[in-house]
Structure 1
Amino acid sequence: MSSVALCRLKHVLCGSEAIVRFYGGIGHLLPGQRVRLWPGDTYAKYALVEKVAPEGVTFRIIAVDAGEKVYAPGDVVKLPWSHINVRYIKT
């Protein structure tokens, strides 16, 4: 599985780990993982997965591109599964 695989929705919760089905395979969304949120957006937003729960995922923004007006480093974002679109970041 590619570490930059685009992940979208449809998950199965297994303890503190969510198995995320995405186009082309299955990936795991785990606390502590670094991801790029909404990879198609004009301004990149990078985040750390803080919590995975049945209702969604909590992310902490760690970096944003210059020009981003909504999110800033340090912001905590709670998203329902229907709004999660991430790209894994190699660490």
Structure 2
Amino acid sequence: MTGVGWLAAIIIGAIAGWLAEKVMKANMGLLMNIIVGILGAVILNAILLAVVGGTLGGWIGQLIVGFIGACILIWIVRMVRGRA
């Protein structure tokens, strides 16, 4: 995650994962919220860097990127495993 430290990445990941869990109506725990939020942010940041050449910075920008990335990850898992 650009511009934030490890503790901030965990906090942002937890919030992004929790928001994605609520929006996507998934049933995950705190640890999975953190993992999905951080992974979603990392993956979407990489995509944004490749396509646009930049990414959103700071807490709010990374929260937005993490939320969108987490929603995409939940959607992909549902497509692969079926709606669980």
Task: Normalising by structure 2, report the TM-score.
Answer: 0.32
Which structure exhibits the higher relative contact order, with contacts defined as CA atoms closer than 8 Å and separated by 6 or more residues?
2
Task: Normalising by structure 1, report the TM-score.
Answer: 0.31
